Amino acid sequence: MDLSKGEGDSRTLVVTSLEPTAEGDPLLLRFGAAAPSMPQNPATDAIGITLSASAAEKLHAKQGDKLNGKVERRFQGKVQTARVALRVAAVLPLAAQQKDVAYVPLPLMEATEDYRDGRAVPELGAANGWLGDPRPQGERIYPGFRLYARSLDDVTQLRQAFAAQKLDVYTHAEEIEQVTALARALT
């Protein structure tokens, strides 16, 4: 999603990855960050998001600031744009994430995926550009997820369990092995 702050010459823009989150997310809890939230009427009220430090720095944004979100797609041979009002609920420190990421409520993540797939998102408002085909009925399939292990030692076991189910996963196993090797060497 393209995030922007300000207008005209003072406008700043950054392209962010979206990560869904909610109350109880270990990453937010670890850094004492507020979970973003959906307002009762997201078509007119700003949706709360949590920014990574790098995204906030590039936008010159802080907690409470209003941002504009933009999602583009190519649909029916045309480039189309949908917009959404956003509010910074929290900014995570650099230690939490070094990339330009916006942690968003799951309904916003689903809305952007639906929109890119050519579907309408009426709850975000036709006036804001969220037009398209109706969403098909049935179970939603998610292409990915974040999973947190209880300890560093559990990561390898979780990876092996997913591999046994023929599921490709990305872990920070290499970095974890470096840290544990360093810890062993220091003791």
Global pTM value? 0.84
Residue 134 in domain: no
Q: Which position has the higher pLDDT, 16 or 11?
A: 16
Q: How far apart are CA 141 and CA 114, in angstroms?
A: 12
Give CA separation, 151 vs 148, 156, 166, in Å: 9, 10, 23
Percent of the chain having pLDDT more than 90?
Answer: 66
Q: Are residues 25 and 80 in the same domain?
A: yes
Alpha carbon 77 to its chain's center: 28
pLDDT tens for 74-98 read 998 999 999 999 999 999 999 999 9
Q: Are residues 36 and 104 in the same domain?
A: yes
Residue 146 in domain: no
DSSP state of 44: T
Q: Are residues 70 and 109 in the same domain?
A: yes
User: What's the domain range around 120?
Assistant: 2-128
Number of domains in the chain: 2
Of 138, 109, 133, give the one whose Cα is nearest residue 120.
133
Q: Are residues 122 and 178 in the same domain?
A: no
Q: Are residues 180 and 112 in the same domain?
A: no
Q: Are residues 25 and 85 in the same domain?
A: yes
Q: Are residues 25 and 105 in the same domain?
A: yes
Residue 114 in domain: yes
pLDDT tens for 106-138 read 999 999 999 999 999 999 998 899 999 999 899
Instruction: Quickly count helices (H) and strands (E) in the chain.
Output: 5, 7
